[in-house]
Amino acid sequence: MNDVQKSVIVSSFAPEIKTGGQRIMSSPIQFQTFESESTFLHPRKGFSPFTERFEVRVDPLTGRTGHFSHFGAIKPQKLNLDSYATPEIKGFCPFCLENRDRVTPKFTDEVVAEGRLVRNEACLIPNLFPYDIHSGVLIMTDPHVVPIQGLNETRLFDSLVLGVQFLKKIKAISPDLPYHLMTWNYMPPSGGGLVHPHQQYFATPNPGNQFLDELKASEGFLDASGANYWSELIEVERATGVRYIGQVGASSWLSSFVSLGILGEAMCVFPDVFTVDQFTEGHVGDLVAGLLKIFKYYATTDIYSFNDATTDIYSFNASLFFGPEGQRSFACHFRITARTFLNMRDYAPDLNFFQALLGEPVSVMMPEELCTALREYF
Ligand SMILES: [Zn+2]
């Protein structure tokens, strides 16, 4: 092969922010990008030289890198949701109403005296295969197959209110478990083992590398600059505008400078919430209102919609992080990233050696493009 690797260009950007009147100050947040390109002799262009661009970005909080390449090359695949309801594919579902009471576990008396927590369709049970000391599974709906359009305001609000109520409850019972989080796999491309919509809620001393790296870096940022990273991030992104999607109540929605998912990532930050105890039903309402806008974008199938784009996203991962007591550096934030199979022939997943072995996210969508697309819905 006659590949030529071009030298790396480094660009680093510390934005200047207008604060009120004329004063302009430079932000301590640095957005660093390594722009690069690779040249090869293209077989479909008579083997003439062809140059493809790619980028590596550095997360301004954690310092971890992420690749951006293969732009526009991966399209979300349509899922045949009806097939998930057929007996041969559905198989046995413990979350379906006809089985739920009989086969799902109950909490011990000390945790939930009633055994399970219920709010309309939302039902919270312990995980039969716990990942942590307190490991709750929240079944979101009565029906087994619920498309994104069916994740309506009532279902989302009930689920999140009940889940947060559970987190507050176990925080009171086990104050020695400092971190609280919600995680969510929706539909099989996301890695979800059950199609039936459900979320997971944890109180834990071991919330995962992403959580702990962010937590430590947020503390370091406050110590070094005297500023809260998350408030600063909102201010910087609002001022520069290219990744600021919109404000919903007490929350701000952004597209992440480095996406953890292949189709880009949206983030919702609550800059004034630091622990789960501070997360009110009002905050849940704000999160749900923003989420419904994201879902509208995900479910865009009309070819006459914005930019003639068919989004057709059927699956995602999401998380909601709450920091420990007694700190004001690590603000509550929610992430959502779309997931897809690469194709429906052999169901190749959209994560590969990059994520599995290099610990490196790869995205085919630039955050600024995702922001432009999502802003139409905010
Ligand atoms: Zn089910």
pLDDT tens readout for residues 297-323? 999 865 454 555 578 899 999 999 999
How far apart are the CA of 92 and the centre of ligand 1, in A?
8
Count of CA atoms in the C-beta half-sphere (13 A) of 304? 0
Mean pLDDT of 66-81: 88
How far apart are the CA of 96 and the centre of ligand 1, in A?
4
How far apart are the CA of 135 and the centre of ligand 1, in A?
20
Q: Report if residue 65 sits inside a domain.
A: no
Q: What total of structural domains would you count in the chain?
A: 1
pTM: 0.93
Mean pLDDT of 92-100: 96
Check if the beta carbon of residue 255 is closer than 8 Å to that of residue 374.
yes
Q: What is the pLDDT of residue 75?
A: 85
Q: What is the CATH number of the domain that holds 371?
A: 3.30.428.10
Q: Report if residue 17 sits inside a domain.
A: no
Q: Report if residue 242 sits inside a domain.
A: yes
Return the number of other C-beta atoms located less than 10 Å from residue 35's C-beta: 15
Position of tokens 């079944």?
Answer: 139
| Nearby residues for ligand 1 (ion, Cβ within 5 Å) | 93, 95-96, 144, 196
Q: Report if residue 130 sits inside a domain.
A: yes
Q: Report if residue 278 sits inside a domain.
A: yes
Q: Report if residue 13 sits inside a domain.
A: no
For residue 71, pLDDT over 50 is answered with yes
Among 82, 56, 87, 50, CA closest to 69: 56
Condensed to tens digits (0 to 9), the pLDDT of residues 254-288 reads: 999 999 999 999 999 999 999 999 999 999 999 99
Two tokens, residue 127: 């995980």
Distances (CA, A) of 253 to 137, 224, 279, 303: 26, 26, 17, 26
> Which domain, by its residues, includes 266?
74-378
Rounded CA-CA distance 378/375 in Å is 5
Q: Report if residue 58 sits inside a domain.
A: no
Q: Report if residue 11 sits inside a domain.
A: no
Two tokens, residue 70: 């293969």
Of the chain, the percentage scoring pLDDT greater than 90 comes to: 81
Q: How many helices (H) and strands (E) does the chain have?
A: 9, 18
Condensed to tens digits (0 to 9), the pLDDT of residues 132-183 reads: 889 999 999 999 999 999 999 999 999 999 999 999 999 999 999 999 999 9
Rounded CA-CA distance 182/291 in Å is 15
